[in-house]
Amino acid sequence: MTRAMLHVQGLSRRFGVVYAVEDVSLRIEPGELRGVIGPNGAGKSTLFHLIAGHLKPSAGRVSLADEAIDRLRPDQRARRGISIVYQGDRIFRRMSVRENVMVGSHCNAGHGFLEAALRLPRCRHEERVLRAEADAMLERVGLSAVADQAAESLPLGQQRTMQLARALVAKPRLLLLDEPAAGLRAPERVRLASLIREAQASGLTVLLIEHDVALVTSLSDKITVLDLGRVIAEGEPSAIRSDPKVLSAYLGQAESA
């Protein structure tokens, strides 16, 4: 068996006596695009934040390429190759689109705060490299024309594309996507899906947590389904679409609404 890029084993998170995630295990192979779906309250966001490092597990283990990371801070996980695109508006205001993207690659920079403050030669060289990498990424995602614009001036679809560019410029091994299509119009969703496919085709491993089931099934190699914090199904999209447990979870939510 090949070494998993992401291995989650028996992961649980309890808030008081209530489990938001309970005994969740999944294994994502290198280069795989794994979708995670589930009705509202299924535990998708909690699982995402446990993997990203923003929540500590009550039990269980998270490993990246066989290295245990469940005790590491989010910035330490980033340095080991995890990049994140969050749900919603996560931009640095009063900074240009290019500067926003450059932030993504600073975790790979070698200079420290003192070198940056003193503008020492190594710092200036690395800044030129980071700028060139950001410009290349903006060209790749189709945002070169707006590189010098204020990030907050972009429409939502372009802001989300910029966030993806910021994550990709860090050269991650694992890309975490938290409902990246939320609020986007149909043409913007199509464009986003194309960029995600391109990222995976380059060899990147992707974990996509998304409420849009159609988007997930169109992109994913395999899908994990959560309900009430537990895994109720896992498999290829064709199998998930017809799984009785999955249909029951979604139909049950619709009936109670």
Structure tokens at 39: 């009705």
Residues 6+ apart with CB under 8 A from 12: 19, 21, 22, 23, 24, 57, 58, 59, 60
Query: Which residues, 6+ apart, have CB-to-CB distance to 48 below 8 Å?
Result: 36, 176, 178, 209
pLDDT at 111: 47
* pLDDT of 24 over the 60 cut: yes
The pLDDT score that the predictor gives to residue 126 is 81
Q: What is the pLDDT of residues 139-186, one digit of tens each?
A: 999 999 999 999 999 999 999 999 999 999 999 999 999 999 999 999
CATH 3.40.50.300 fits 1-81+174-180+207-257, yes or no: yes
As a whole number of angstroms, the distance between CA 223 and CA 180 comes to: 17
Domain ranges of the chain: 1-81+174-180+207-257
Is the model more confident about 230 or about 251?
230
- In sequence order, what are the beta bridge partners of 6? 28, 64
- Residue type at 118? L
Instruction: Give dist(CA 146, CA 34) in Å, integer.
Output: 32
Whether 117 has a pLDDT exceeding 50, the answer reads no
H-state helical runs in 202-235: 213-219
Report pTM. 0.89
Q: State the pLDDT confidence band at 118, using cuts at 50, 70 and 90.
A: very low
Rounded to whole angstroms, the Cα distance separating 174 from 133 reads 19
Would you say residue 55 has pLDDT above 80? Answer: yes
Q: What is the pLDDT of residues 75-97, one digit of tens each?
A: 999 999 999 998 876 899 989 99
Distance CA 145, CA 234 (A): 42
Residue pLDDT, tens place only, 179-210: 999 999 999 999 999 999 999 999 999 999 99
